[in-house]
Amino acid sequence: MKAVVVRQTGDSSVLQIGERPIPQATTDQSVIKIHAFGVHRYEVLTRQTGWPAVTFPRVLGVEAVGVIEQSSTNGHFMKGQRVVTLMGGLGHDVDGSYQEYALIDDKNIYPTSLDGDYTQLATYPENFYTAFGALQHARVSAGHSILVRGATSTVGLAMIQLGQAMGLTVIGTSRRKEMLPQLIKLGANQVVLDKDNQLQTDEQFDAVFDMVGIATMNDSIKHVTDGGAVTMIGALAGGWAVDSFSPYELKNKFLIFFSSDAVDSRLLNQMFKLIQENHLKIPIAKVFELEDIAQAQDYVMNSHELGQVIVTTDKKD
């Protein structure tokens, strides 16, 4: 089978296609035949810097969609069963999705009844789970207003879709004025320009979900109502630590960091149900083949196209 093996940090040229034996299932690990996966900026950062700490050689990739090729001895999966896998140390602690077959712990494999094209299915796991988990932890419900800061990100686009399905009023932001009409087309009720890390509005919202990071955190706090929460999710602007922060800035507000590292299967099933009932989807920016993984990662970092970059292991006819 083909696998993309990274042996050292560096530019996209370190993404080397190699041949490996197809893995065999174990007592508690099953083999997934991978059909497609999304490519994410933090996978690029892992390749560039080794963050978070990764032992090389390593196959990157934090998520995948495919089918069971071989079930574990103690497993209950059926050959050919459609499944997704995400997080659980994929691409960091163990080899991830940048390969044709992967040996995955059964606890990190989740059956799905979603049908359709594998490339579209690959837009869901990490993007929608991060968005849905953050919405659930912030305890928002129908009638609440939410501001999605960094709404043109793939998680932001997923949150717009999920928010609408949940009966929320969704306000999306972008640092590029020309992108605001696109957010309206994709489901946002309102849009706000984010200029120099300052929202160009005086409004406050029941909850703010910040994909930009610590550069905008203090301004996000200003735009949430008393009793509301700012949920930090991503770091699109870079930076991982706050130099100076006073908890007194919160003033009856909450500050949350949501991580999708620990997947709750109950939430995941609720998410799939919401997607299926409401026919939710986000755009696909571009589809690459596995052999073009270097171009795929470069595209993720350099393109301003809305939507998820997908890699398929299925050959085109």
pLDDT 10s digits, 248-266: 778 889 999 988 888 999 9
Q: What tens digit of pLDDT does each residue of 176-231 get?
A: 999 999 999 999 999 999 999 999 999 999 999 999 988 889 999 999 999 999 99
Is pLDDT at 317 greater than 60 in this prediction? Answer: no
- Which of 63-67, 126-130, 137-141, 230-234 is predicted least confidently? 230-234
Q: Where are the alpha helices (DSSP H) in the chain?
A: 41-49, 118-121, 125-137, 154-165, 180-185, 217-222, 265-278, 293-302
Give which of 4, 254, 272, 228 is closest to 132, Cα–Cα. Answer: 272
Give yes or no for residue 148 having a pLDDT over 90: yes
Q: Say what percent of the chain tops pLDDT 70.
A: 97
List the chain domain ranges: 2-123+283-312, 127-257
Q: Do 127-257 and 2-123+283-312 fall under one CATH topology?
A: no
Q: Residues 199-228, buried b or exposed e (16+ Cβ, 10 A)?
A: bebeeebbbbbbbbbbbbbbbbbebbbeeb
What's the token pair of residue 168?
């929320």
Rg (alpha carbons) of the chain, rounded to whole number: 20
**Tell me: domain 2-123+283-312, CATH 3.30.457.10, correct?**
no
pLDDT digits (tens, 9 = 90+) for 116-133: 899 999 999 999 999 999
Q: What is the pTM of this model?
A: 0.94
Model pLDDT, residue 306: 94
What kind of fold does domain 127-257 have according to CATH?
A: Rossmann fold (3.40.50)
Each residue of 2-13: pLDDT tens digit? 999 999 999 999
